[in-house]
A and B are shown apart, each in its own frame.
Chain A
């Protein structure tokens, strides 16, 4: 395979892995914080409703929301520059680069994780936690030996879902960094709509490559889905 395209696949896979991993950890933390004992019930209703919206708020509008926030003249950027004396753009940050794409993707990855993992966390019973602490386990030991092993199949399944979610994203990256971050979907769009260079057959080949990656992910997902159903009622 031609080197630049191989690099693009690696970049797309890398960004997908990072945002899926980050989305899993942060989504799990937030979902647990809102479901655990002591947190008022209405916060959960607000969070799940908002997650339903945020997981669907993507594409061009999301890209522009982040440009308005973290762009060169974005609200947060100018606030940091004028009031905190720190200019992120003077320190190599740009919302139009790889990091910017990753931060923006988190806006739909975290809510998706919250929606997917909440039923699994509900399955984590309070009695298990009490039993563990009666036997003298610390919070860390509870998570190490009970919590994470029970949730692991669900977390891995969610990870694959999040991976696919960000791997197939086009509009968000296009609106944000259409000509600076070369992801496979962006290149497909470029060759297909062809402003300068048009090569639909190359676009089709690249598209088939994406399909293969996602099909492999789906094959991994199905057995995990079966296993994680075991602890849910």
Chain B
């Protein structure tokens, strides 16, 4: 007996779910269109405030640059590592997998307290700069997502055959890595990168505790005087996550899905 029509109880579940998930988004949109003077709908004043605020542009640029830096460092570190582990040291794979769980188990608030303490004596070009300390912390935060994405990518290709073929044609290690391996794991690397982008663009805990002014801490700051503009920025933040996730889906069409979770709570 196969059902032809959707079950009535399923309709109830889905309508309630849609209401719970869509109402806050619609409310945020309506809220962001309110006028600061009258509290009535609808003006674009909150959006015009945001666009004309220099701090908006500087903080969103900082967050974006941090995301790119984190992605670059993560790829440089983890692509050769995961390649080597798959090729030469398969017994180390579970060890890496276990290490990748650590940033899941240790919450960002705990991690940042530990890191601030650990790096206390570090030179100020590292410790006092977002491009130093914060990027280093974000590489740790991105490690699990990068690792699991790359690991899945390497598992789906024949690392040994590709490497042997490339080397018997006279390619060096670097040529093999860049011109043979990298194109084959491109989708996995892009997937991990988009997840990292979503994490870094939304990360508040570490930036706030180490007192750097990134995009999420800017939203918090704006909210103290301009609640309607903060709503507009929240919506923008949601759209950034949407864009990153859609890009993730788009590059991964028809292939096994990489993990879709990024923790920025």
- Is there an interface contact between B10 and A36, defined as CB atoms closer than 8 Å? yes
Beyond A64-B230, A66-B24, A75-B30, whether A207 also contacts B265 by CB under 8 A is: no
A208–B105 alpha-carbon span in the complex (Å)? 12
Contact of B260 among A55, A214, A218 (CB under 8 A): A55
- Is there an interface contact between B10 and A60, defined as CB atoms closer than 8 Å? no
Contacting A at CB under 8 A, from B29-45, are 30-32, 39
Contact of A68 among B27, B217, B265 (CB under 8 A): B27
Stretch at the interface among B124-132, B158-166, B181-189, B235-243: B235-243
Stretch at the interface among B62-70, B71-79, B80-88, B106-114: B106-114
Beyond A69-B24, A107-B24, A214-B105, whether A188 also contacts B113 by CB under 8 A is: yes
- Is there an interface contact between A74 and B27, defined as CB atoms closer than 8 Å? yes
Contacting A at CB under 8 A, from B100-156, are 101, 104-110, 113-114, 116-117
Q: Chain A, 20-55, contact with B by CB distance < 8 Å: what is the 0/1 string?
A: 000000100110111011111001000101111111
The size class of the interface chain B forms with chain A is: 35 or more
A223 → chain B closest CB, angstroms: 15
- Is there an interface contact between A204 and B117, defined as CB atoms closer than 8 Å? yes
A21 → chain B closest CB, angstroms: 17
Say if the beta carbon of B59 comes within 8 Å of chain A.
no
- Is there an interface contact between A215 and B105, defined as CB atoms closer than 8 Å? yes
A residues less than 8 Å from B261 (CB atoms): 52, 55-56, 112, 115
Q: Chain A, 191-230, contact with B by CB distance < 8 Å: what is the 0/1 string?
A: 0110000001001100110110011001000000000000
- Is there an interface contact between A171 and B265, defined as CB atoms closer than 8 Å? yes
- Is there an interface contact between B265 and A172, defined as CB atoms closer than 8 Å? yes
B residues less than 8 Å from A26 (CB atoms): 17
A residues less than 8 Å from B31 (CB atoms): 68-69, 74-75
Q: Chain B, 225-265, contact with A by CB distance < 8 Å: what is the 0/1 string?
A: 00100110111011001100110110000000000111111
Stretch at the interface among B47-55, B167-175, B208-216: B208-216
A11–B117 alpha-carbon span in the complex (Å)? 27
- Is there an interface contact between A69 and B23, defined as CB atoms closer than 8 Å? yes
Count how many chain A residues have C-beta atoms less than 8 Å from C-beta atoms of the other chain.
71
A112–B101 alpha-carbon span in the complex (Å)? 17
Say if the beta carbon of A58 comes within 8 Å of chain B.
yes
A134–B68 alpha-carbon span in the complex (Å)? 58
B residues less than 8 Å from A39 (CB atoms): 6-7, 10, 14
A203 → chain B closest CB, angstroms: 6
A160 → chain B closest CB, angstroms: 11
Say if the beta carbon of A152 comes within 8 Å of chain B.
no
Say if the beta carbon of A147 comes within 8 Å of chain B.
no
Say if the beta carbon of A185 comes within 8 Å of chain B.
yes
B residues less than 8 Å from A175 (CB atoms): 204, 220, 223
A residues less than 8 Å from B192 (CB atoms): none
B200 → chain A closest CB, angstroms: 12
Q: Looking at A39, A40, A73, A168, which has the most chain B CB atoms within 10 Å of its CB? A: A168
- Is there an interface contact between A75 and B27, defined as CB atoms closer than 8 Å? yes
- Is there an interface contact between B10 and A188, defined as CB atoms closer than 8 Å? no
A64–B199 alpha-carbon span in the complex (Å)? 18
- Is there an interface contact between A188 and B109, defined as CB atoms closer than 8 Å? yes
27 pairs from A and B in contact (CB 8 Å cutoff)? A34-B10, A36-B10, A38-B3, A38-B5, A39-B10, A49-B246, A56-B198, A56-B199, A56-B260, A59-B204, A60-B234, A61-B202, A65-B238, A75-B26, A75-B30, A107-B24, A111-B21, A168-B108, A168-B263, A170-B109, A175-B204, A185-B109, A192-B209, A200-B113, A211-B105, A211-B110, A215-B105
Spell out B's residues near A (CB within 8 Å). Answer: 1-7, 9-11, 13-14, 17, 20-21, 23-28, 30-32, 39, 101, 104-110, 113-114, 116-117, 198-199, 202-205, 208-209, 211, 216-217, 219-220, 223, 227, 230-231, 233-235, 237-238, 241-242, 245-246, 248-249, 260-265
Report the 4 A-B pairs with minimum CB-CB distance, sorted nearest first. A168-B107, A38-B3, A68-B31, A33-B13
